[in-house]
Amino acid sequence: MRINDCTTLERDGGIAIITVDSPPVNSLSVAVRKGVAEAMMQAAGDSAVAAVVLICGGRTFFAGADITEFGKPVIEPDLRALQQIVEDMPKPVIAAIHGAALGGGLELALVAHGRIAVPSAQCGLPEVRLGLMPGAGGTQRLPRVVGAARALEMMTSGDPISAAEAARLGLLDRIADEGALRDEAVAFARAVAADGAPLARIRDRPLVVEQGLFDAFREANGRKFRGLMAPESIIRSVEQGIALPFPQALENERALFCALLEGAQSAALRHVFFAQRQAAKVDAISADTPIRPIIRVGVVGAGTMGGGIAMNFANVGLPVTIVETRQEALDRGLRIIRRNYENSAKKGKLTAEQVAQRMACLTGSLALEDLADCDLVIEAVFEQLDVKQELFRRLDLIAKPSAIVATNTSYLDIDRIAEVTGRPENVLGLHFFSPANVMRLLEIVKAAKTDLSVLATAVALAKKIGKIGVVVGNCYGFVGNRMLAARHAQAEAVVTEGALPWDVDRVIRDFGFAMGPFEMRDLVGLDVGWNRATSSGATVREMLNEMGRHGQKTGGGYYDYDEKRQPTPSPIAEQAVLDFSERHGGQRRIVSDEEIRDRVLLAMVNEGAKILDEGIAQRSSDIDLVWINGYGWPAYRGGPMYWADTVGLPVIRDKLKALHATHGEVFRLSPLIERLVAQGKDFASL
Ligand code: 3HC
């Protein structure tokens, strides 16, 4: 029987089966809630029904509350009213899970009287990633099942767990054969009904918490939770719930949830959620743009970057040939990859078998000719145009005609690289971020002649290897490094005028970045892109490099580092700054924290606006993703363009104009900002 557009109610003997099919992910929209509530009520009133199975069609069980409904008036029944109906059913309800039971979806399953899932299913409460917390009993019921400590971990990380682990923790009662979920759920429901025991409700279980858990958990995760509001609300909800009767504990949870929902962090993180889904939608690519099969990948260069890039493909079972010029470098590269995998295994993230499988995907070679049968070749060699051009000339002769040839350049003009080949349509930039096996960003750079099928293939491949692929245009530094250059220019300028590097780093860290610009330079290496032959003390960075201070790897750069790589401001670097200022900056002055913040961040926003105006990025949220996933912009501030919108473009425009008047051309206002302000619009409106 059809209950509504997305819900059906059927009978299999004495078992009622409620099926919800609401693409794409069965989120608990108003229609879904209404359908399930109505079907439950009918099943409750039908004396021939002994038990109920709640199951979903499509690719997944309920993936949570419908995020698009947040901030709009709630239409009854809300999720909690629906849960009440299910939990108070006079007959057992069994949740049958495939795909993922996430957020409100898992919370709904937690009010059922039994849970069964297929082995490939996952369970999780990922609300924290949206700056939220479970708001429908998750903070009260999950700890009663898996224990408070494990529940805190799951809810504050947002990471889902596998069906096997969920079964081990008691979150699932049974595992069904893949493909036999419905039948086995019906059998389970029959068994529970036949048993006739009082219905098991999680709310009736005791909540046992070990002494000192909450403070210990806060302390252990202080760094991870820095700046974020949701994790503390989650901890508080569990902690305060202990002393409260269950209904009040739910009310308390709800109040904490609503406060987060109305806050700026959740708004920003929801923006990021939708930005990620938007990024895969590229204007020029349509559903019928062909995607080329990528069966075998080649990587040129077994250094840190090449090795990290290769790991991404081995992780998903794609064979990779890595080419180096010298045996020693090749061996070293492969050794480092193995060590990375083994470290993951030590942390329990991989089994020994998985390490072996991944290593088996990798073949080392000293001959470029071995890349002849690759469908995609990515070069990660020295960042110098003539070196890359020479390599591309050779690759063009070796790679099969249909192969895509990509460069991992960070700054170079990809058209100049493509033009030396006879296949510029098959050339693009795939700009990975270091460490390439960890960082989620992939800038997919479209050059002038890049074929759309090549672009579409790269977008699909990014998803396959778990990257956030953002399509950008070809210009100096693309999106990320071009804005980074604008940031560095201001970071250096304020230091020349009177601030010290650690002042800048502190201000940027206080804003929410994990590290400041100078700390980042020390980490990356001051000598990246530095040339000893042409170095002339023209910047503080050149001066430090000339002294052999290349950053963390040499024990010092802007900071000095101890054996544990703990930084302290370096007196040598400070002297270099003072000497440089004397030569170039004139009288040093006090630069306020506010000025540092404005100059560094607004220079980025202004550059971002120019990037948008030039069509280098398709939408402002793509720029946000680049900065969040590649450079550590705090996600809870939504990215530089989103942040600018929240500050208000008229304010940004006025400040940029004032900076232009004082500091000149570098702050020339982007015409786009001027236009948007005149039209009363913001970046998000584009
Ligand atoms: N609400 C509304 N739309 C959602 C949604 C949700 N909860 N989850 C996913 N979608 C939409 C996406 O926006 C996307 O739309 P689009 O096609 O128009 O761009 C579409 O569903 C498909 O999503 P994905 O591209 O992400 O599909 P995947 O197959 O890669 O991933 C998923 C599926 C694992 C379910 C992933 O979408 C996901 O993680 N979703 C969010 C889950 C979540 O955060 N749930 C908690 C919500 S908050 C909550 O429940 C509060 C409660 O405690 C009260």
Domain residues of the chain, as ranges?
2-261, 297-476, 499-584, 593-615+617-685
The neighbouring-strand residues paired with 300 are: 323, 379
Q: Are 49 and 11 in contact (CB under 8 A)?
A: yes
Q: Which atom of ligand 1 is nearest to the CA of 79?
A: 54
Task: Give how far the C-alpha of residue 308 lies from the chain's centroid of Cα atoms, to the nearest Å.
Answer: 18
Atom 47 of ligand 1 has which residue's CA nearest to it? 64
Could you tell me the distance, in angstroms and rounded to a whole number, from the CA of residue 463 to the centre of ligand 1? Answer: 15
Which amino acids bring their CB within 6 angstroms of ligand 1?
A: 24-25, 27, 60, 63-68, 79, 100, 102-104, 107, 126-127, 130, 132, 134-136, 138, 277
Could you tell me the distance, in angstroms and rounded to a whole number, from the CA of residue 134 to the centre of ligand 1? Answer: 15
Residue type, 319: P
Per-residue pLDDT averaged across 509-532, rounded? 92
Mutating to test ligand 1, I would choose from 56, 62, 67 the residue with most ligand atoms within 8 A of its C-beta, which is 67
Overall fold of domain 2-261: 2-enoyl-CoA Hydratase; Chain A, domain 1 (3.90.226)
Atom 10 of ligand 1 has which residue's CA nearest to it? 25
Phi then psi dihedrals of residue 139, to 5 deg: -75, -15
pTM reported for the whole predicted model: 0.94
Could you tell me the distance, in angstroms and rounded to a whole number, from the CA of residue 228 to the centre of ligand 1? Answer: 21
Catalytic residue among 38, 69, 87, 107: 107
Q: Are 100 and 63 in contact (CB under 8 A)?
A: yes
Atom 36 of ligand 1 has which residue's CA nearest to it? 63
Q: Which of 132-136, 173-177, 194-198 has the lowest mean pLDDT?
A: 194-198
Could you tell me the distance, in angstroms and rounded to a whole number, from the CA of residue 26 to the centre of ligand 1? Answer: 9
Atom 35 of ligand 1 has which residue's CA nearest to it? 63
Confidence of residue 68 (pLDDT cuts 50, 70, 90): very high
Q: Are 666 and 600 in contact (CB under 8 A)?
A: no
Confidence of residue 196 (pLDDT cuts 50, 70, 90): confident
Architecture of domain 593-615+617-685: Orthogonal Bundle (1.10)
Architecture of domain 297-476: 3-Layer(aba) Sandwich (3.40)
Could you tell me the distance, in angstroms and rounded to a whole number, from the CA of residue 514 to the centre of ligand 1? Answer: 27
Q: Which atom of ligand 1 is nearest to the CA of 126?
A: 44
DSSP string, 66-85: -GGGTTSPP-SS-HHHHHHH
Q: Is 127 a catalytic residue?
A: yes
Catalytic residue among 10, 38, 76, 127: 127
- For helices 593-613 and 480-497, give the axis angle rounded to 10 degrees: 150
Q: Which atom of ligand 1 is nearest to the CA of 134?
A: 53
Confidence of residue 347 (pLDDT cuts 50, 70, 90): very high
Looking at the chain, the whole-number percentage of residues with pLDDT higher than 90 is: 95
Tokens at 57, concatenated: 């069609």
Per-residue pLDDT averaged across 493-517, rounded? 96
Q: Which atom of ligand 1 is nearest to the CA of 59?
A: 29
What count of Cα atoms within 13 Å lies in the side-chain half-sphere of residue 316?
16
Tokens at 589, concatenated: 């002055």
pLDDT of 585 above 80: no
CATH number of 499-584: 1.10.1040.50
pLDDT of residue 531: 86
* Predicted confidence (pLDDT) per residue in 4-32, tens digit: 999 999 999 999 999 999 999 999 999 99
Tokens at 189, concatenated: 């429901």
| Residue tagged 């595992």 (tokens) | 175
Could you tell me the distance, in angstroms and rounded to a whole number, from the CA of residue 593 to the centre of ligand 1? Answer: 39
Q: Which atom of ligand 1 is nearest to the CA of 102?
A: 45
Could you tell me the distance, in angstroms and rounded to a whole number, from the CA of residue 253 to the centre of ligand 1? Answer: 22
pLDDT of residue 71: 87
pLDDT of residue 421: 97
Could you tell me the distance, in angstroms and rounded to a whole number, from the CA of residue 17 to the centre of ligand 1? Answer: 25
| Residue tagged 């708001």 (tokens) | 135
The set of residues, in sequence order, having a beta carbon less than 8 Å from that of 139 and lying 6+ positions away, is 133, 151, 155, 234, 237, 238, 241, 253
* Predicted confidence (pLDDT) per residue in 111-149, tens digit: 999 999 999 999 999 999 999 999 999 999 999 999 999
**Can 2-261 and 593-615+617-685 be said to share one CATH topology?**
no
Mutating to test ligand 1, I would choose from 25, 82, 97 the residue with most ligand atoms within 8 A of its C-beta, which is 25
The set of residues, in sequence order, having a beta carbon less than 8 Å from that of 214 and lying 6+ positions away, is 235, 238, 239
Question: What is the C-alpha R_g of the chain?
Answer: 28
